[in-house]
Amino acid sequence: MKILCIGRNYRDHATELGNAVPTEPVVFCKPDSAILQPRLPFVIPAWSQDIHHEIEWVVRIGRVGKFIEPEFAWSYVDAMTVGIDFTARDLQAKLKSQGLPWEKAKGFDGSAVLGAWIPGPIEPGHFAISLEKNGIEVQAGTTADFIFPLEQLIAHVSQYFTLKTGDLLFTGTPAGVGPVSRGDELEGKLGGKSLLRLRIR
């Protein structure tokens, strides 16, 4: 199982980080060891002083596919949820400034948090996601605001990676990313329904 992630898929998020709006999907990967096991807290690693939350709509692939045409993309999705892509922003900035890959800042242990799955079949549509920190909404967006819709994402990534049953696709985060601190409580919602609760330690 692999975790494919899309960066800068919301125009407002690209802008808030001072990045150019991409002309094709920005793709990176996390190892399966990045998945935080259910009911465990997220522990801030000792080597970072600036861990940021990034709420995302996540889909799970239900069958093997390669060179998938956009019109068939939804038929490869068998479940959806919200997830958090934790990012060590300080380490990411350092690596980027040196022209180095930044997997260490994105793929570290526990950096991929998943909510409860909503099983398919998933009908094509738009879905609202949000994140609350200590009861206050800090991120909100809808997949209608994607720069690259799901059909295009699946078609694009399947040109380079064979999609296998159980693979995950994190589809990008809206504006509002920010740091977490020990003691914070996070809650992720999909369509207003709470699917993810997490304590920071």
Structure confidence by residue, pLDDT tens digits, 149-198: 999 999 999 999 999 999 999 999 999 999 999 999 999 999 999 999 99
Give the model's pLDDT for residue 173. 95
The pLDDT tens digits of the residues spanning 115-137 come to 999 998 898 999 999 999 999 99
pTM, rounded to two decimals:
0.95
Domain residue ranges of the chain, discontinuous segments joined by +: 3-199
| SS3 per residue for the chain | CCEEEEECCEHHHHHHCCCCCCCCCEEEEECHHHECCCCCCECCCCCCCCEEECEEEEEEECCCECCCCHHHHHHHEEEEEEEEECEEHHHHHHHHHCCCCCHHHHCCCCCEEECCCEECCCCCCCCEEEEEECCEEEEEEEHHHECCCHHHHHHHHHHHCCECCCCEEECCCCCCCEECCCCCEEEEEECCEEEEEEEEC
Could you name the CATH architecture of 3-199? Alpha-Beta Complex (3.90)
